[in-house]
Amino acid sequence: MYGGSREAGTGVFTSEFGRTPWSLNTTGTDHNSMGTTSLLAGGDVKGGVIEGATDEVGYRAVDERSAII
């Protein structure tokens, strides 16, 4: 990053789909719209915070569900 840019803005890294926690065929995991991950970074973001949770197998968001629109 360039000097001071971390404090000047906030970055959001996300995906439209997560991945299923199991393989649906022999080619790997499938898309999963029920639970995904986002990363926020920058001067206005408090580090080390985890928001929400998935079920016991990581398939579906169950706690503090939110949306980025």
Alpha-carbon distances, residue 11 vs 5, 40, 68 (angstroms): 11, 6, 13
Digit-coded pLDDT (tens) for 6-58? 567 888 888 778 888 787 777 778 888 888 888 888 877 888 888 888 888 88
Distance, in Å, from the CA atom of 25 to the CA atom of 50, rounded to the nearest integer, reads 31
pTM (whole model) above 0.85: no
Question: How would residue 1 be classed by pLDDT, with cut points 50, 70 and 90?
Answer: very low
CA-wise closest residue to 19 among 6, 29, 28:
29
Tokens of 15: 């995906």
Q: In this structure, are residues 1 and 7 in contact, taking their beta carbons and an 8 Å threshold?
A: no
pLDDT for the residue 25: 73
Domain ranges for the chain = 5-63
